[in-house]
Structures are given as structure tokens and as C-alpha cells.
């Protein structure tokens, strides 16, 4: 992390996303499911990130030998805290091509194996971008440090009720702050902004994820 902050010219962007549609869709989907089969908001966020990367592929890959190298696929690394302390960010392979149900199964399996020390080497090396979700810790905003040689990291805070202007009136809605830490050698704020805009748009149609 010290090398990352020293060598990578970070830029930071954030946006606040109305997730009322996503929370309603999740509630409806989970209503008839047993507890082990229920979906978490984290899965929608991971899928949203993966699909947004299709639109802004410059954020999905690595900075190597002075140039950007695109990832061979969209393999989203997800930050997982370990019971004994420390953090790993193993990859969910082909995140953009999996259904929310498949991602939920893979995420549960990945967390269990990360905490039992049975991750595969490819899961530790293949991530093309990392997502850090600190919402469960009560954090409102998360601005992370990029994992070299990746060129971007996406952070999510908690979903919380906030006042929001809707059609000229103020309503209380579930809101979420999404942030992007980008490597200015590979992208700029314009492209980063397009990514966050795409992520917001995708989360407004959770049934299509």
C-alpha cells in the first residue's frame, strides 16, 4: 500500500446513488427464499461494477511496463477481512457473466475459503479491479488505495435513509455513496465519471443485472 501511494497518481471521485429500486427488488426476491439462498446488496453492487466496466474498460486491467494492459476478463476482486486480522481481495472470475444467484453462491464460498486459508492462487492474482464494501462497518464513504498493478478501486459505504429531492419534493430514500479511486496514468476524471454514471444507471434496473 505504501508503494501504491508513492508510485500511483491517484484521483478520487464519488457519487450518491438512490438504491430504493434495488432494495425493493431485493426484498421481493428474498421474500420466498430460505435464509441461505437470500441475496445481499453486495451482489448487486458487484454485478453493477462489472457491467459498468464493459462501458469503461480502461478501468479494468493493469499498469505494466509503462502502459495499460487490459484484463483478459472482468474478474472483480472483493476485499475480505480475515478473522486473525489483515485483508485479502480474491477474484470473482467473470463477474459480468454471472447471475446474481451465481455470484451470491461464489461470494459465500470465497469468503469461507478466504477465512479458512484455502484460496486458489489464481483467485489471489487474477483480479482486474477491486471492490471494497465497508457498509457493514457503518462507514458512509470509502476511498481506497489501488492494489498494484490494478488501475482502479471501487468503494461502497452503507445504505442509509437520507433526504433526497424527487420531482421537486423532498423524500427520505435509501442512499449509498459509491467512490472510485483511479490511476491517472490509465484514465482521468472524465472516464471515471462515466463509470460512476453507468453504475448508477445500472443499479436503477436491478432486475436486469
User: Is residue 67 domain-resident?
Assistant: yes
Is the overall model pTM greater than 0.85, yes or no? yes
The predicted structure's pLDDT at residue 136? 80
What value does the mean pLDDT of the chain take? Answer: 95
Per-residue confidence band for 103, with pLDDT thresholds at 50, 70 and 90 = very high
Do the domain assignments include residue 83? Answer: yes
Output the domain CATH number for residue 93.
3.30.559.10
Residue 59, domain member (yes or no):
yes
Residue 14 lies in a domain: yes
Give per-residue pLDDT as tens, 36-47.
899 999 999 999
The percentage of the chain sitting over the pLDDT mark of 70, rounded to a whole number, equals 100
Is 190 a domain residue?
Answer: no
Domain assignment present for 148: yes
* Cell numbers describing residue 8: 500511483
Closest alpha carbon to 185 in 58, 43, 37, 33:
58
- Enumerate the H helices of 31-180 as residue ranges: 41-55, 100-116, 121-125
Please report whether residue 193 resides in a domain.
no
Helix axes 41-55, 20-30, angle to 10 degrees: 130
Could you tell me which of 36, 117, 35 has the C-alpha nearest to residue 80?
117
> Looking at the domain assignment, is residue 191 inside a domain?
no
| Structural domain harbouring 128 | 2-182+199-208
Structurally, the chain folds into a number of domains equal to 1
pLDDT computed for residue 120 by the predictor? 93
Amino acid at each position: 500500500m505504501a508503494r501504491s501511494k508513492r508510485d500511483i497518481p491517484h484521483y478520487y471521485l464519488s457519487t450518491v446513488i438512490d438504491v430504493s429500486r434495488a432494495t425493493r427488488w431485493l426484498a421481493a426476491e428474498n421474500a420466498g427464499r430460505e435464509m441461505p439462498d437470500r441475496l445481499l446488496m453486495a451482489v448487486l453492487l458487484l454485478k453493477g461494477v462489472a457491467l459498468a466496466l464493459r462501458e469503461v474498460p480502461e478501468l479494468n486491467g493493469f499498469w505494466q511496463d509503462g502502459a495499460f494492459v487490459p484484463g483478459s476478463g472482468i474478474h472483480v476482486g472483493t476485499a475480505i477481512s480475515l478473522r486473525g486480522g489483515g485483508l485479502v481481495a480474491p477474484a470473482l472470475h467473470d463477474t459480468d457473466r454471472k447471475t446474481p444467484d451465481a455470484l451470491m453462491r461464489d461470494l459465500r464460498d470465497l469468503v469461507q475459503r478466504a477465512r479458512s486459508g484455502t484460496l486458489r492462487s489464481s483467485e489471489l492474482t487474477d483480479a482486474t479491479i477491486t471492490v471494497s464494501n465497508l457498509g457493514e462497518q457503518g462507514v458512509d464513504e470509502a476511498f481506497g488505495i489501488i492494489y498494484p498493478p490494478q488501475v482502479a478501486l471501487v468503494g461502497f459505504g452503507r445504505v442509509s435513509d437520507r433526504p433526497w429531492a424527487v420531482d421537486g419534493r423532498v423524500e427520505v430514500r435509501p442512499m449509498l455513496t459509491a467512490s472510485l479511486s483511479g490511476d491517472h496514468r490509465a484514465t482521468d476524471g472524465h472516464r471515471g465519471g462515466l463509470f460512476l454514471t453507468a453504475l448508477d444507471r445500472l443499479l436503477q434496473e436491478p432486475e436486469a443485472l
